[in-house]
Amino acid sequence: MSSTPVTWFEIGSDRPDEAQRFYADLFGWGFEEQGGPGNSYRQTGAGGERGIGGAIRGTGSAADNYAIFYAQVPDVAETCRRAEAAGGTVLAKPVTAPSGLVHARLRDPSGNLLGVFTPPAGG
């Protein structure tokens, strides 16, 4: 079995401006707003050429705050089946974004969140 790379992370925050300042001050990360009004999504190329990229997503409340990593997989639906067989839980079934990106959210047997995705064809 080949190794699956972790290629994305996401930080959910009810205070995305504060989170952005924190990570910019701490690590020097720059961010670019990708969302519209009421849908804050700020991407960062934090990983440069050797690391991973990520984003801060605005949430509705402190109860919705989270941090999650995403692993790039060849087949999201099959990965979800394998996760359940290994004792995990599929929290958000596979969804295809308008861009063609397919993603899902899982919980490992210890309760930790993780995500899996397949990029759009040709991307």
Tens of pLDDT, residues 29-75: 889 888 766 678 898 877 777 778 889 999 888 888 988 989 888 99
Instruction: Check residue 110 and give its pLDDT.
Output: 80
In this prediction the pTM is 0.71
Q: Kind and range of the H or E element at 16?
A: helix 16-27
Residue with tokens 């009421």: 38
> Exposed/middle/buried for 93, CB within 10 Å: 0-12, 13-18, 19+?
exposed
Taking 80 as the threshold, does the pLDDT of residue 119 lie above it? yes
Q: How large is the C-alpha radius of gyration of the chain?
A: 15
Over residues 87-116, the mean pLDDT reads 92
Q: Which residues contact 80 (CB under 8 A, 6 or more apart)?
A: 90, 93, 94, 104, 106, 116
